Amino acid sequence: MASKNIGIKEDVYERLKAHKRAGESFSETLDRILHELDSDWRTNAGFLSDEEAAALEAEVSRGLEDADDSFDELGDEVDDRLSGGS
Amino acid at 51: E
What proportion of the chain, given as a percentage, has pLDDT over 90? 48
Q: Is residue 6 one of the residues assigned to a domain?
A: no
The count of structural domains within the chain is 1
pLDDT, one tens digit per residue, over 8-49 is: 999 999 999 999 999 999 999 999 999 888 776 666 677 778
Interatomic CA distance for residues 69 and 23, integer angstroms: 53
Mean pLDDT value across residues 70-85: 87
> 67 in a domain, yes or no?
yes
- The Cα-based distances of 77 to 71, 74, 85, 86 in angstroms read 10, 5, 9, 9
In terms of C-beta density within 10 A (0-12 exposed, 13-18 middle, 19 or more buried), how is residue 8 classed?
Answer: exposed
What is the per-residue pLDDT for 7?
A: 95
Is 58 within a domain?
A: yes
pLDDT of residue 84: 82
| Assigned domain for 53 exists | yes
pLDDT at residue 62, as a whole number: 92
Instruction: Give residue 69's domain range.
Output: 48-82
The reply to whether 70 falls in a domain is yes
Average pLDDT over residues 57-65: 92
Residue 11 counted as domain residue: no
SS3 12: helix
For residue 64, being part of any structural domain is answered with yes
Mean pLDDT of the chain: 88
Torsion of CA 24, 28, 34, 40, to 10 degrees: -60
In a domain, 42, yes or no: no
Statement: the pTM of the whole predicted model exceeds 0.75:
no
